[in-house]
Structure 1
Amino acid sequence: MSEPIVFCKSGGCTAKLGPGALNRVLEKLPKADRDEKLLIGYDSHDDAAVYQVSEDLAIVQTLDFFPPMVEDPYTFGKIAATNALSDIYAMGGEVKTALNIVCFPQEWDLNILGEIMRGGAEKVIEAGGTLAGGHSISDTDVKYGLSVMGVVNPKKMYPNDGGQIGDSLILTKKLGVGIMAAANRVGAASKEAMEEAITSMTTLNKYAAEILKDYEVHACTDVTGFGFLGHLHEMLGKGYAAQIDLAHIPHIAEAVHHADEFLLTAAAQRNRNHMEQYVRFEDVPFAMEEILYDPQTSGGLLAAVDKNQAKEIVQKMQSAGLAAQIVGTITQKEDIEIIVK
């Protein structure tokens, strides 16, 4: 008797290596002489690599793939592609081409793989890009994602650590999708809340990025596996600090209930272990701490913008159907890097 197919075990960005472990590996890699045309590489904690080819043109390269976090293959394909495409938008770029990355058990029904790739292809098309090929291998578990190439004007790209004191921080999607996926795997998530999470995970950050292009953006990243606090920490790399307004953090309401019931992820605990030395919570409930540490799959953009433009940006994003909010301010660093209250 053959083993039953288990499509969704534990996936999405919860499958990422913890930030502490990853940093220890990257620090030991051999360093070549710096290519002056490589404007951004892995050493900067940015979302994608940027390589300049002319005065006004640079190539943006990124790669992302992971195991399923939902049971439906087509939906998984859309989420994985949306997540991989996001890094181009976080750099201020435009998507041009994408290559499929596929790991799939050879003995499984290939129609499942077809549905995954159909979902991914639809999102590449929606992004305005072209699916140009890919690579597949036989594996014991399913994994899918994209290698994406985009373009950006190097004078207009967004580094993730270019924020300035006084900048407003805008978050464009709700937090809590990692907790919702964990609850869904044990049958505890409501259909409505899970649909809310899937809608968020399949919404391209293209739409938020198109609005940001008309304004003064000093820094930008997308919130994925290291959680809101982990990616904010990377944005503050120049020695700045941030004050976060808990009341304005957009989140899936049901995720608070599941966090209170300790339906948590191991990845969130890795994020907490790595980040707790940088964070002070002031009268923050445990469940909201977990939501701020929660690894996001295909999360929103976190942008540091001119404070005088922030309200207008958020109004435009909300009018476009996005869950954007002003969630905090970049400040001078004192005794602690991030204060949440």
Structure 2
Amino acid sequence: MTTTSIPPRLTELSHGGGCGCKIAPGVLADLLKNMPALRGFPDLLVGTESSDDAAVYRLNDEQAIVATTDFFMPIVDDPYDFGRIAAANALSDIYAMGGKPILALALVGMPINVLPHDTIARILEGGSAICASAGIPIAGGHSIDSVEPIYGLAALGLVHPQRIVRNTGARPGDVLVLGKPLGVGVLSAALKKNLLGKAGYEAMIAATTQLNRPGTPLAALPDVHAMTDVTGFGLLGHLLELCRGAGLTAHIRYADLPWLDGVREFVDAGIYTGASGRNWASYGSDVELDKSLPATARTLLADPQTSGGLLVSCTPSAVNHVLDIFHNDGFERATVIGSMAAGEPRIVAA
């Protein structure tokens, strides 16, 4: 009698998932501290100096190329959804700089003798589907046989050199707008424990596969001063990059933060990712939490997002226009979460 082996769950093959796989920000900063300064390249408009979302290189007076790469281990078990999430996450960095994607290359590492080949093919199909919805091809790539499944993209885009929006340009008095609800890391932890229901899964997939296309028209607004996307370092980590880049203090209103359904209840039950604690350990000293906030606030605010929303710093007069751009592209829960003020680079949450 023959037996048929059951293929492993994708998340069983990885020690972490999604952007929760990122090296903690404090450790990453230590690894990069001896990197040489990028001098002598006048057309390199954005490099590594400000922890921005992508590199930008000027081609001529009208065009600059935006280049980025992003890849990770599975955050979900459905191969098609994994491919879609990874691709949307990679393209997000192009949009966060104000660019428009033009093509992508696939980055593929798979345990070729462990996963069925049709499962791997479905991952690639998912990534291709997202790129097709962004109007770009996957024009090539590279693959290796690896211990853990890994998928992502190297993506290229174009932007006008005068329309680049960096994470360093926030100004005192700016308002902070967040494009997507938070809590992806928590839901992924619940999924790994088989505790996430169908509605919760569908909400997580809808959020993580939604392309951050509003970044391109937002960059055309002169009153949008800074922009980034919220991913593996959590809301606090990426907001701190805005604070440090501009030398300002961010004030956020905890009650105004949008959450995916069920997230706070899962954290109350002790379900969250280890990356949340690593994130907090890296930057918690630069965050002031009001004593009135719940004990779980630290965990929630440091929760690693995968393919998270755009975080925009703009003038108060531009807020309605910014929100209209988000809402008109289907980002129904885009909302104002706080403001920027003069002060030391840190975050105050109340």
TM-score (norm 2): 0.93
1:234-253 deviation line (CA, Å, top 9, x unaligned): 01113100110112111113
Contact 1:66 1:143 survives alignment (8 Å): yes
For 1:289 and 1:82, the matched residues in 2 are separated by: 27
For 2:38 and 2:287, the matched residues in 1 are separated by: 35
Aligned to 1:302: 311
Aligned to 2:341: 331
For 1:213 and 1:109, the matched residues in 2 are separated by: 45
SS of 1:158 mapped into structure 2? coil
Q: CA deviation at 1:299?
A: 0.2
Letter in 2 for 1:325: T
Matched, 1:137 2:140: no
Of stretches 2-11 and 266-275 in structure 1, the one that deviates more from structure 2 is 2-11
SS of 2:298 mapped into structure 1? helix
For 1:185 and 1:324, the matched residues in 2 are separated by: 28
Contact 2:92 2:211 survives alignment (8 Å): yes
Give matches, 1:27-38, under 5 Å. 27-31=33-37, 33-38=39-44
Contact 1:256 1:288 survives alignment (8 Å): no
Aligned to 1:41: 47
Letter in 1 for 2:295: F
Of stretches 138-147 and 181-190 in structure 1, the one that deviates more from structure 2 is 181-190
Q: CA deviation at 1:211?
A: 5.0
Cα gap change, 1:320/1:29 in structure 2, threshold over 3 Å: closer, same or farther? closer
Q: CA deviation at 1:212?
A: 5.5
Q: CA deviation at 1:4?
A: 5.2
Matched, 1:176 2:183: yes
Aligned to 1:233: 240
For 1:69 and 1:16, the matched residues in 2 are separated by: 13
Of stretches 63-72 and 240-249 in structure 1, the one that deviates more from structure 2 is 240-249
Give matches, 1:1-341, under 5 Å. 5-9=8-12, 10-31=16-37, 33-107=39-113, 108-207=115-214, 209-210=216-217, 213-214=220-221, 216-237=223-244, 238-282=246-290, 283-322=292-331, 323-333=333-343, 337-341=346-350
Q: CA deviation at 1:213?
A: 3.4
Contact 1:242 1:328 survives alignment (8 Å): yes
Q: CA deviation at 1:188?
A: 1.6
Q: CA deviation at 1:20?
A: 0.6
Identity %: 39
For 1:241 and 1:77, the matched residues in 2 are separated by: 37
For structure 1, the 5+ residue unaligned runs are none
SS of 1:56 mapped into structure 2? coil
SS of 1:8 mapped into structure 2? helix
Cα gap change, 1:339/1:33 in structure 2, threshold over 3 Å: closer, same or farther? closer
> Over aligned residues, Cα RMSD in angstroms?
1.7
Q: CA deviation at 1:313?
A: 2.1
Q: CA deviation at 1:275?
A: 1.6
Q: CA deviation at 1:32?
A: 5.3
TM-score (norm 1): 0.95
Contact 1:40 1:50 survives alignment (8 Å): yes
1:38-75 deviation line (CA, Å, top 9, x unaligned): 11111211000000111121110000000001010000
Q: CA deviation at 1:298?
A: 0.2
Letter in 2 for 1:330: M
The total of aligned residue pairs comes to 340
1:83-119 deviation line (CA, Å, top 9, x unaligned): 0000000000000010000001121321111100111
For 2:142 and 2:319, the matched residues in 1 are separated by: 42
For 2:340 and 2:201, the matched residues in 1 are separated by: 33
For 1:213 and 1:253, the matched residues in 2 are separated by: 33
Q: CA deviation at 1:216?
A: 2.1
